[in-house]
Each structure stands twice: as C-alpha cells, then as structure tokens.
Amino acid sequence: MGDVGIDRRAFLAGVGGITVGAGAASLTACETRPGRTSTVSGTTLVVRNFGGSYGEANRKAVYDPFTRETGVRIKVVNFAHDQMLAQIREGRPRFDVMDIDMSNLLLFAREGASEPLDYGRLKNTRNAGIPQSLLTPNGVGKSYWASVLAYRTDAFDGRKPESWADFWSLGAFPGSRALQGEVDWPELEFALLADGVPLDGLYPLDVDRAFRVLDEIRGSVRTFWEYGAEPGELLSRGSVKASSTWAGRLQHLIDDKVPLAYEWNGARRQSNGYGIPKGSANPDAAYKLIDFALRPEVQAHMARLYPDGPVVPAAYGHLTESTAMRLASTPGHLLSGFDLDIDWWLENQDAVTRRWQKWLRA
C-alpha cells in the first residue's frame, strides 16, 4: 500500500510555487560530484520510508541483505513530506534516500528538491522491463499497489461482483457499501468504469459524469473509510457487503477464513519509488541501495513479505503462483486494471478535492 493519507495531504498543502515541467531533467544527468569517493563500506545510509509492516519488510528483504553484501549500514527515518521538503530547502536533509509514492516524487522534482537520477548507475533498470512511466528523471518506481473491489462471499447468494458496474448494481447485489474518503485521491475512476467508460478511455476524467454516477449510490454508502484497515473491519463485521480497499489489507482475514474476496477487474494501480534528495550526504551509497532493491530476487523477496507488486517482471520467476496472484503487477492484473494518471490528478487536484469534500459533506 502506498504512502498516503494525512502525510500526503499535508505535503500537498505545503508545496507552493510548483512550476510545471521543472522535472524534465535528463535521464542521464551525472550525479557524481568532484572529490566524492566511491567507497561506501562503513557508511550509514539514512532511508526515509513510512514504517510499520512496510518498513519491517524492507528491513528483512532489502536493508539487511544489502548491509551484509556492502557493509553499508541502514538507518530508517519516517519524516512527513512537508518536513522532508523543509529540510531540503534548508540545505540539510537528514536523509539520503526517499522511499515515497511516485506522485510525491514528481512534486519533489518540480520543487527542485531532488537530484536528477543517473540511470547509468542503475544497471538493474537496463532492459529489465520496468515501465517507462516509472523511469522518471528524478525517481524510479520500486513497487505497485492497488485499490480494488472487495466483498463478502456469503452476501449475494453465491454470486460475486465482477466489476464496478456490479458494485453499483444495488438490485443485483443488494446491501451497504463503503468507499474511500479523503485518505487518497477520490475514486472517480470507479464511478466512470461502473458507467461503462473503458479502461483506456478514463483520462482525462469526466468529473461531472463521475459525480452523477456517485450520486446514484450515495444512499447505500454506509461509510467513507479513512484508514487502510477500515474496509476489512467493516466487511468482517458485516456492516457493509462490498467496499473499495487497498489490495493486501484483507489477506490476513481471508487466511483466517473470514468469507471475503477481492475482484481485480478495474483495479486502480499506483506506485512507490526511490528518489535522492537534493543535498544527500551519501549519493554513492544511495545509488547502490536503489540498484540492489531492483534486483529480481530482491523484488521477489520483498513481495513475499509485503503485498506490493514488483516493477521488475523477472521477479515473478522467483514467486509461487499463489503469491503472484495477490500482487498488483501480476500480468493478468496489469491487463484488467489501470494506472492512476499522476499528471492529471496533480493538475486537477485542487478543484476536484474541493468538489469531493463538498459532496462528502452534503
């Protein structure tokens, strides 16, 4: 699951004077600085991630193996995005690597707060099949996560909703619903899919149409959830029969035989990635860590511990089918879902967010 919620909203509110196109630096910009040694053994590299089970999985799958191989020790911090930006603006970032979602990496690039990446130093991105959209000038994708439809398998007389159109069909699939509240981008895409818009025709979003479709289901939405565990709590109690959710957040309940399931058709994918803040004290070690984390076997190890999908397709050769089918970047799921258009959302976020907040409170 991505780095979202209050942290993102605070960061977006704190970013001022964004210049569109400022992130269009060359993919081959050189990062090595005069007089900077390439010897990294014994270095302590400070990585910012959002902690919790995600941080622990990174420790086991990435950081500890990297330390054993290189001698570079890893220290983890969990600064909020506005804190990160303030430190960079002061010229004294207290972290060397950013592990954040790709939309915020784009915002950091536009603010001039991150270093252009030298892809010549990231050999594991070469011919690796990483989507071009994740190879950006100032950030490289590391994992996929997704918002999907979830439902109680005992709710609809043995039938299962197989699309967002089914989620909206209260006649065929009666019962209370839950949708995401203000914790991340509004789920306008799901309303449009329910109304017949094809996956490849979503963007630019028809905002008026999306809100009209949301109006149709408003009376049956019991809750607009605000934290990742909430859909599982609502579904397991039977408070709602179907909900949007972040893929992976229900897996422990499913493993415990709670009658829940996911539907991946129409999944909305987002990505986390790595960036290097402007003024990083240890760019050499930062490049080595990022490159290490993009090895197929390391990507696979991470996916076994935390339900985000690898960005390197070869990682799936190291995973069992049962594990692969739970991940957002499994080939079948890539075909049945779509990538959130970061550029569209950043361009339209203010107007859409105001309208969304007004609609929620109406």
Whichever domain contains 79, its CATH number is 3.40.190.10
Q: What's the total number of domains in the chain? A: 2
* Two structure tokens written together for 256: 């415990």
Distance of alpha carbon 102 from alpha carbon 131, whole angstroms: 13
Output the pLDDT for position 41.
72
Mean pLDDT of each 10-residue bin along the chain, 362 residues long = 48 38 32 42 92 95 98 96 95 97 95 97 97 97 98 95 98 97 96 98 98 97 96 97 96 95 97 97 98 98 96 97 96 95 95 96 90
Q: What is the reported pLDDT for 1?
A: 61
What's this model's pTM, rounded to 2 decimal places? 0.88
Residue 60: what pLDDT? 98
Phi, psi of 137 (to 5 degrees): -55, -35
82 and 161 together in one domain: no
Is residue 23, in this structure, part of any structural domain at all? no
Is 63 among the domain residues?
yes
Within 171-224, residue ranges assigned H as helices are: 188-194, 207-217
Which letter does DSSP use for residue 62 in this model?
I
Residues 155 and 130 placed together within one structural domain of the fold: no
pLDDT at 29: 33
pLDDT at res. 30: 33
Nearest to 78 by CA among 55, 62, 101: 55
Q: Give domain status of residue 338, yes or no.
A: no
The span from the CA of 118 to the CA of 169, in Å, is 49
Half-sphere exposure of 169 (CA within 13 A, CB side): 15
Judge if 168 and 254 occupy the same domain. Answer: yes
Distance CA 285, CA 42 (A): 10
d(CA 95, CA 48): 6
CA angle 55, 58, 61 (to 5 degrees): 150
Q: Is residue 183 domain-resident?
A: yes
One domain, residues 352 and 256: yes
**Are 138 and 225 in a shared domain?**
no
Give pLDDT, residue 3. Answer: 58
Per the domain annotation, does 36 fall within a domain?
no
Say whether both 163 and 247 belong to one domain: yes
Q: Could you tell me if 258 and 153 lie in one domain? A: yes
Per-residue confidence (pLDDT) for residue 158, from 0 to 100: 86
Same domain, 350 and 230: yes
Q: What is the domain range of residue 297?
A: 6-13+41-144+270-329
What single-letter DSSP state applies at residue 163?
Answer: S
323-340 b/e with 16+ CB inside 10 Å = b? ebebbbbbeebbeebbbb
For residues 132 and 151, state if they share a domain.
no
Question: What pLDDT is stored for residue 39 in this prediction?
Answer: 59
Give yes or no: residues 223 and 140 share one domain.
no
pLDDT recorded at residue 40: 72
Residues 353, 224, single domain; the answer is yes
Say if 27 falls within a structural domain: no
Question: Environment class of residue 119 by beta-carbon count within 10 Å: exposed (0-12), middle (13-18) or buried (19+)?
Answer: middle
Both tokens of 21, joined, read 């196109």
Q: How far apart are alpha carbons 48 and 266 in whole angstroms?
A: 31
Same domain, 152 and 261: yes
Q: Is residue 281 part of a domain?
A: yes
Let me know if residue 262 belongs to a domain. yes
